[in-house]
Amino acid sequence: HQAVYVALGDDQPSQRLIQEIEGVPFLVVQASHASRLTAIADVVLPVEMWAETSGHYINLEGRLQASTPALKPIEGVYSNVGAIEAVAAKLGIDVAVDWKAELQQSPAPVTLAIA
């Protein structure tokens, strides 16, 4: 590969991922924390950590719920989606999607059965 884009978010990179990516000519890492992967990246896009993120999720009952940030991110930090949208815009790629419809089409991850 000539270039790799890793959307790491809050996760820490595995040893296997680091080994597979080492030596790639151009590496972009989207992450909320410094790591061995951000240390070798050509470009690092700082993103919000989980406590700074707002958004929506489907709860165990299949209901759409909003989440609000507990902390305010520092200036210049993207949301995970915002970072991807900014890169896509620079590349002339339209990533517009009806997120609410997409979320509601997905089944609830857990089904509760009471005997």
pLDDT in tens, 38-65: 999 999 999 999 899 888 877 888 788 8
- Residue 84 pLDDT greater than 80, yes or no: yes
Q: How does the average pLDDT of the chain come out, rounded?
A: 86
Predicted pLDDT at 113: 55
Tell me 82's DSSP state. H
The strand pair at 26-31 and 43-46 is best described as: parallel
Rounded to whole angstroms, how far apart are CA atoms 51 and 35?
A: 19
Predicted pLDDT at 4: 94
Regarding the domain delimited by 3-105, which CATH topology (the fold level of the hierarchy) does it fall under? Rossmann fold (3.40.50)
Q: At 77, is the pLDDT very low, low, confident or very high (cuts 50, 70, 90)? A: very high
pLDDT in tens, 22-41: 889 999 999 999 999 999 99
Q: What is the mean pLDDT of residues 10-22?
A: 92
